[in-house]
Amino acid sequence: MDLVIRNARVIDGSGEDSYTADVGITDGRIAEIRTEGPRPTGARTLDADGLALAPGFIDMHAHSDLALLRDPDHSAKAAQGVTLEVLGQDGLSYAPVDDRTLAEVRKAITGWNGDGSDIDFDWRTVGEYLDRLDRQGIAVNAAYLIPQGTVRMYAVGWEDREATPQEMDRMRQLVAEGMEQGAVGMSSGLTYTPGMYAKDSELAELCKVVARYDGYYCPHHRSYGAGALQAYAEMVNLTREAGCALHLAHATMNFGVNKGKAPDLLSLLDGALDAGADISLDTYPYTPGCTTLVAMLPSWASEGGPEAILARLQDDETAEKIRHHMEVIGADGCHGVPIEWDTIEISGVSDPGLASCVGKTIQQSADMRGEEPWVTARRLLINDKLGSTILQHVGHEENVQLIMKHRVHTGGSDGILQGFKPHPRAYGTFPQYLGRYSRELGILSLEETVAHLTSRPAARLRLADRGLVREGYRADLVLFDPATVAAGSTFEAPRTLPVGIPHVLIDGRFVIEDGKRTDVLAGRSVRRTAA
């Protein structure tokens, strides 16, 4: 063997009881699992006494689309035991594009990934993007979802209107090409422009294309607030009619209107599952959400793209209409709930000169200036050219805990790595599940928790050789200490790495060894395989 891991407590990802074994690895795969008899030998031996050995964790909702290229270290995810991330989330990413669309999407999601001025965008198609990941070498593996908002931007533009038949054909073609080039499915951001302008009939047509390739649809649906339950039902019905598998992104029930309403969501999903629907979901183990400040605006104010948004904000009369819609009516960008400025904390800015805003709520900054919060928010949007990110403190712990126990739950960080003060979920989601929610609170057993983070997402991604500790499977593995594993990241120090995860392997190569990042770039694109 190349490597033998001795005396490990194997938590194999199935949810079954753990057991002690020696695990041998050869040529990047698990070659032998021995619980008794002669012990395997290898060129190298690692004594794992006291450590749990699990499949590498799969982050079902990641925003590392540029971070993987920008930061070869990528300890934010590697140190958590993540060996695979799913990119292209929330309907907005960087392929497929033409030159115009690329320029527009870079502006639109600067708050998620930076403006990309440090990146050589030498790709335009999904396949070329995945090729770039492979050619450069990346810290962890990556799969990709075709972003429906970007596809609409490419074929239709930023207008709030129905697509013409020719534009529909072009969108179908773009989705089919992306699937053929290796995408695992399609995402949407239905509170983000321009993807939110698509009606259900348009989305269903694109989902039919995804279904032909045995992919899945991953929507950030139309409301996580006032219309949350109806929005979930809309996605269930849409995908059932399209014959497409459904994976619900960051499946939460947020804002005051949804306190204690997780059972309503789970009842809806159970009914659909019992009727034969193919549904899964992901969550992060925290209560606040994270997005961009511009995402809070009503959709009509975002029509036309970033430059049109800025023009409206700079016009006093239009800006007052935006304020009224957000504070009194409840903008669709804020999920139909009138915005509460004391829940909106600035977590990052694109302009370092605005750093004094970071870590304060809009209400706090406004109070310091002696002005109304909309005045503060409007100024920040304009001066930061829409690049500000926020934490939105609107979640409910009882909802978080109940949803994570569901039979189709998986883990997803929704980790935005940009900003001076990012959400700690970017650096802490997976050890937070293992440490706080399994060991400390007992919400799930350790074996169940690992299954949620490994085999379940692997099954959704149709990965035949990942997600379990099995002979013949890829040696994407994590060794952690069940007694000490914990998220180091906090809201005060969000970039602190976790503890209790000394070793992480991808294809049998140490990405994390003795708690330190190696220089190994073992990650590659993980592409959809033929159905």
Q: What is the residue whose two structure tokens read 């999920």?
A: 335
Q: Please check whether residues 78 and 178 belong to one and the same domain.
A: yes
**What range defines the domain where residue 331 resides?**
295-393
Q: Please check whether residues 227 and 329 belong to one and the same domain.
A: no
Cβ atoms 222, 231 nearer than 8 A: yes
Cβ atoms 304, 283 nearer than 8 A: no
Q: Please check whether residues 199 and 158 belong to one and the same domain.
A: yes
Phi, psi of 58 (to 5 degrees): -115, 120
Q: CA 107, 108, 110, 111 torsion: positive or negative?
A: positive
Cα separation, 525 vs 365, whole angstroms: 43
Cβ atoms 194, 300 nearer than 8 A: no
Question: What confidence score (pLDDT) does residue 530 get?
Answer: 57
Q: Please check whether residues 348 and 366 belong to one and the same domain.
A: yes
**Which ranges of the chain have pLDDT less than 50?**
531
Q: How many domains does the chain have?
A: 2
Cβ atoms 213, 184 nearer than 8 A: no
Cα separation, 88 vs 95, whole angstroms: 8
pLDDT digits (tens, 9 = 90+) for 238-295: 999 999 999 999 999 999 999 999 999 999 999 999 999 999 999 999 999 999 999 9
Element (H, E) at 28: none
Q: Kindly report the number of other CB atoms within 10 A of residue 159's CB atom.
A: 14
Q: Please check whether residues 299 and 220 belong to one and the same domain.
A: no
Question: What confidence score (pLDDT) does residue 419 get?
Answer: 82
CATH number of the domain at 278, please: 3.20.20.140
Q: Please check whether residues 278 and 318 belong to one and the same domain.
A: no
Q: Please check whether residues 91 and 221 belong to one and the same domain.
A: yes
Cα separation, 226 vs 232, whole angstroms: 12
Among 342, 373, 393, which residue terminates a domain? 393
Among 361, 393, 425, which residue terminates a domain? 393
CA nearest to 81, candidates 404, 523, 476: 476
Q: Please check whether residues 269 and 416 belong to one and the same domain.
A: yes
Among 345, 373, 393, which residue terminates a domain? 393
Q: Which amino acid is at 96?
A: P
Q: Which two tokens stand for residue 295?
A: 């995402």
Cβ atoms 453, 57 nearer than 8 A: yes
Q: Please check whether residues 318 and 404 belong to one and the same domain.
A: no
Question: What confidence score (pLDDT) does residue 69 get?
Answer: 97
Question: What confidence score (pLDDT) does residue 150 get?
Answer: 98
Q: Please check whether residues 62 and 119 belong to one and the same domain.
A: yes
In a domain, 498, yes or no: no
In a domain, 121, yes or no: yes
CA nearest to 125, candidates 163, 180, 169, 167: 180
Cα separation, 242 vs 59, whole angstroms: 26
Q: Which two tokens stand for residue 520?
A: 């190994």
Phi-psi region of 47 (alpha: psi -120 to 50; beta: other; left: phi over 0): beta
Q: Please check whether residues 330 and 300 belong to one and the same domain.
A: yes
In a domain, 528, yes or no: no
The DSSP string of 218-247 is EEE-S-SSTTHHHHHHHHHHHHHHHT-EEE
